Amino acid sequence: MKIKKKKINVGVGFVTGRKNFKNVTKSYVDNWNESGLVDNEKNALHLFVAYDLKYKSTKVSDYKITDEEILDRVDSAYYLGNSLITNEAQYLVEKKVINLKEAKLIFGEGYAMKRNAVLYFALKNKMDYLIFLDDDEYPIATIKINDTIVWKGQEVLSTHINNIQHADMTHGHHCGYISPIPHLNFNDKLSEDEFRIFIESISNDIINWDSIKEKMNDGGVTFANLDIINSKITEVVKEINGMKFISGANLGFNLKNLDKLFPFYNPPGARGEDTFLSTCIGECNIRKIPCYTFHDGFATYEHLLLGVLPNKLKAMTADSSAITKRFLRATIGWIRYKPLLLYITQRDDYETEIMRMKENLSNVIPKICNYFGNNEFENILDELEFYHTHVEEHYKDFEDTKSAWLKIIKFLQNN
């Protein structure tokens, strides 16, 4: 008798809060179909959708898939709303797996916690692999050739699946508007050197000014590298300054290696959940894989999902209040997690680095406010002071989050 091979269960995780979620999902499902994954009987695809109704004032119906064409191509769909996640957290507390404080660290309010919920439910439902995708990233690459751009579809999911079995995590590339930093014309109000000091003060150590300058010169657009797309070669991600840099989407997890799985964390009100995960995975085999997603960071190119491919991409310049506000939100988000990142990666020099940041920011923020015509940038110094004052508390929460996660992993292994 021929023994039927066990299916490979692949979870596809979204943390979403946008009304275009269903269009994004359909785009990826069509992409999976084109790559042959749907017809491949050894792969079973499962959706895990953690949704946030508050982010853009959405309804549950904005996330529940009703399109029969999509439902026919996935094996199951799990919708993770607040009540379901809260009930699961209470169950773990009642089983004495974790306590109430630990439940809030893992499953409470915040972007990192919704990622943890997706990771947890994928494990509970016995997924072999999990691939995180974002609702503002699309399976297509934009490539610059001379003065024109061309578009190339990307087999995102299949590229992860083909490589994740040989790694603990797989991480794809990103193109499009991956940086919130707009194109600037430097002048007497703000020099390039002053802006460089500002960016280097608030961002993480991975960000390189030369690469930021290149993106700015391209109007804020990052173009895909055709050599990488065509190479089919994976790279081993190396550790830099105590981090193996990954981003939160176009990111695959091998769920068979439970001892190499870590939770997401960010300080209250901050982001950086992928950055803090980067500090945990030094012993993990992380592979950079040759596929891109297009990041529609300013929600300007949703028509890409409908097959409309522009011949050129708009420069994101600092002459729009919407672009300025997005940049402001990003700078606040960065400064809120910078103290904890320094505390983790440069403990011996932490106080010196904080003092240097304060001095540099005090000098350049008036220039930033004047250039952008927005005095809210002054809040960055207050935010820095608050998160610096609470850095030890946030570090303890980070460590407690990892400890709580280990208890959950042990519980899942035993059950």
Q: Which pLDDT tens digit goes with each residue over 306-330?
A: 889 999 998 888 878 888 998 999 9
> CA separation (Å) from 266 to 211, 239, 341, 344?
25, 20, 10, 13
pLDDT, averaged across the chain: 92
pLDDT (0 to 100) of residue 110:
87
Helix (H) or strand (E) holding 144: strand 140-145
Structural domain boundaries enclosing 106: 8-181+206-315+400-414
Report how far residue 150's alpha carbon sits from residue 383's, in angstroms, rounded to the nearest whole number: 42
pLDDT band at 209 (very low <50, low <70, confident <90, very high): confident
Domain count, the chain: 1
Q: What is the mean pLDDT of residues 100-110?
A: 95
Backbone dihedral region of 241: left (phi > 0), alpha (psi from -120 to 50 degrees) or beta?
A: left
Question: Residue 326 falls within a domain, yes or no?
Answer: no
Question: Residue 159 falls within a domain, yes or no?
Answer: yes
pLDDT (0 to 100) of residue 351:
97
Residues 6+ positions from 49 with CB-CB distance below 8 Å: 13, 14, 16, 21, 63, 77, 78, 79, 80
pLDDT band at 218 (very low <50, low <70, confident <90, very high): confident
pLDDT band at 205 (very low <50, low <70, confident <90, very high): low
Question: Residue 365 falls within a domain, yes or no?
Answer: no
Number of neighbouring beta carbons within 10 Å of residue 201: 23
Report how far residue 262's alpha carbon sits from residue 169's, in angstroms, rounded to the nearest whole number: 11
Written as six digits, the tokens of 196 are 């460089």
Question: In b/e form, how buried is each residue of 249-284, taking b as 16+ CB within 10 angstroms?
Answer: bbbbbbbeeeebbbbbbbbeebbbbbbbbbbbbeeb
Contact indicator for 247, 171 with CB cutoff of 8 Å? yes
Q: Where are the alpha helices (DSSP H) in 59-155?
A: 68-71, 82-94, 100-107, 111-124
pLDDT band at 388 (very low <50, low <70, confident <90, very high): very high
Question: Residue 277 falls within a domain, yes or no?
Answer: yes
Q: What is the mean pLDDT of residues 379-394?
A: 98
pLDDT > 70? residue 153: yes
Give tens-digit pLDDT for 131-141. 999 999 999 99
Question: Residue 200 falls within a domain, yes or no?
Answer: no
Question: Residue 186 falls within a domain, yes or no?
Answer: no
pLDDT > 60? residue 2: no
CATH number reported for the structural domain that contains residue 37 in this entry: 3.90.550
Q: Which residue has the tokens 């996935």?
A: 74
What is the model's pTM?
0.94
Q: Which residue has the higher pLDDT, 81 or 179?
A: 81
What percent of the chain lies above the pLDDT cut of 70? 97
> Per mean pLDDT, which range of 43-52, 209-218, 306-315, 318-327 is the poorest?
209-218
Q: What is the mean pLDDT of residues 362-366?
A: 97
pLDDT (0 to 100) of residue 3:
44
Give tens-digit pLDDT for 260-270. 999 999 999 99
pLDDT > 60? residue 4: no
pLDDT (0 to 100) of residue 41:
77
Q: What is the mean pLDDT of residues 119-134?
A: 97
Give tens-digit pLDDT for 395-413. 999 999 999 999 999 999 9
Q: What is the mean pLDDT of residues 56-79?
A: 92
Q: Which residue has the higher pLDDT, 5 or 69?
A: 69
Give tens-digit pLDDT for 272-298. 999 999 999 999 999 999 999 999 988
pLDDT band at 206 (very low <50, low <70, confident <90, very high): low
pLDDT > 50? residue 383: yes
